[in-house]
């Protein structure tokens, strides 16, 4: 019974079907299966398969994204069950992410958020045009391990530095790693402003985040 259910879960991720993934997660909850088992034997193998196939060039970014969305839907159903049982879902880390104040460019940031969340991070997506202090306050509230800051304009990119300075001013720099991204952002810029990580694309961003958490 569980074997069939787990196979269906794995397939729902591979097919990128959030409704089905949520439905299967609900079924597992009703059957009283341990949510840790549900994740590790049902859904995570799906994510791993998609990741492998992507690495082989057999699956592509849109498939990665829908797999991420299906995973998110499953986790949302399982979350209350973890709480009820007094256990916790294993996460790689907590990430606060957003596009910096004055900048409304969303897609790259959202893509990174989806990929991180699919890879086992708890992601708090603050959206676009996010004030510097909102990053700081949210990071403090959720005890974030990583802040991700996106910017598409050279004129807003400069504010990535302000977030890092605000972390320092608030005595939080030691606890929070900072990742930066966006079209005008380069490795040298990341280095100059003292960011801990930079990636040009979403898949690379996951690798960086995992490395930061010692999980790569």
Partner 1 sequence: MAGTIKAVENPKLSLNMFSPEDIQRLHAATLEVIEQTGIRFPSKRAQEIWASCGAQVDAKTGIVKAPAHLIESALKKAPPAYSLAARNQAQDLPLDGKHVWVGTDGCGVEIIDLYNGERRRSKLQDVEEIARVADASEQVAFHWVALSAQDKPAHTRGLHELGAVWRNSTKHVQTESIYSVAEAKAAVEMATAVAGSKEALRKRPVLSLMQCTAPPLGHDGGSLDAALIGAEAGLPVGFMTMAACLTTGPATLAGNLVVGNAEVIAGTALIQLAFPGAPVFYAAAQTASDLRSGAYTGGGPEDFLFGAANGILADFYNIPISMGSFATGAKEPNWQAGLENSLSTFMASIVVSDMLLGVGFLHGSRIWSFEQMLMDCEIYEIVRRTLAGIEVNDETLALETIKSVGPGGNFLSQKHTRAHMREIFVPNYLDRRPYNMWETKKDGPRDWAREKARKLVETHQPDPLDPAIVREFERIIAAEES
Return residues touching partner 1 (CB under 8 A).
54, 57, 60-62, 104-105, 107-108, 111, 153-156, 158, 183-184, 186, 188-189, 200-203
Closest approach, Cβ 199 to partner 1, in A, equals: 10
Closest approach, Cβ 184 to partner 1, in A, equals: 4
Give residue 171's region: left, alpha or beta (phi > 0; psi -120 to 50).
Answer: left
Give the residue with the Cβ less far from partner 1, 1 or 56: 56
Closest approach, Cβ 185 to partner 1, in A, equals: 8
Give the residue with the Cβ less far from partner 1, 26 or 110: 110
Listed residue (118, 28, 41) closest to 80, CA to CA? 28
Listed residue (31, 59, 30) closest to 47, CA to CA? 59
- 3 state DSSP class of 106: coil
Give the residue with the Cβ less far from partner 1, 77 or 185: 185
In the sheet where 197-198 sits, what is the strand order?
121-125, 93-99, 146-150, 177-181, 197-198
Give the residue with the Cβ less far from partner 1, 28 or 202: 202
Q: Supply the DSSP string of 111-165, one letter for each residue.
A: HHHHHHHHTTEEEEE--SSB-HHHHHHHHHHHT-SEEEEE--SHHHHHHHHHHHH
Closest approach, Cβ 201 to partner 1, in A, equals: 4
Closest approach, Cβ 86 to partner 1, in A, equals: 39
Listed residue (109, 95, 115) closest to 183, CA to CA? 109
Give the residue with the Cβ less far from partner 1, 6 or 189: 189
């Amino acid at each position: 019974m569980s074997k069939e259910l787990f196979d269906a879960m794995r397939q729902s991720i591979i097919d990128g079907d959030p409704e089905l993934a949520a439905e299967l997660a609900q079924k597992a909850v009703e059957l009283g299966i341990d949510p840790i088992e549900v994740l590790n034997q049902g859904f995570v193998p799906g994510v791993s398969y998609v990741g492998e196939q992507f690495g082989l060039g057999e699956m592509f970014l849109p498939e990665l994204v829908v797999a991420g969305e299906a995973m998110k839907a499953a986790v949302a159903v399982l979350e209350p069950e973890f709480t009820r049982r007094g256990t916790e879902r294993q996460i790689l880390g907590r990430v606060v992410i957003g596009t910096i104040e004055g900048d409304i460019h969303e897609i790259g940031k959202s893509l990174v958020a989806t990929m991180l969340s699919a890879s086992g991070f708890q992601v708090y997506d603050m959206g676009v045009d996010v004030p510097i202090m909102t990053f700081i306050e949210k990071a403090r509230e959720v005890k974030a391990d990583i802040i991700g800051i996106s910017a598409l304009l050279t004129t807003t990119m400069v504010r990535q530095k302000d977030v890092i300075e605000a972390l320092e001013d608030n005595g939080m720099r030691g606890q929070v790693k900072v990742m930066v991204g966006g079209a005008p952002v380069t490795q040298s810029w990341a280095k100059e402003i003292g960011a801990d990580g930079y990636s040009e694309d979403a898949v690379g961003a996951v690798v960086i985040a995992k490395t930061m958490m010692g999980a790569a």
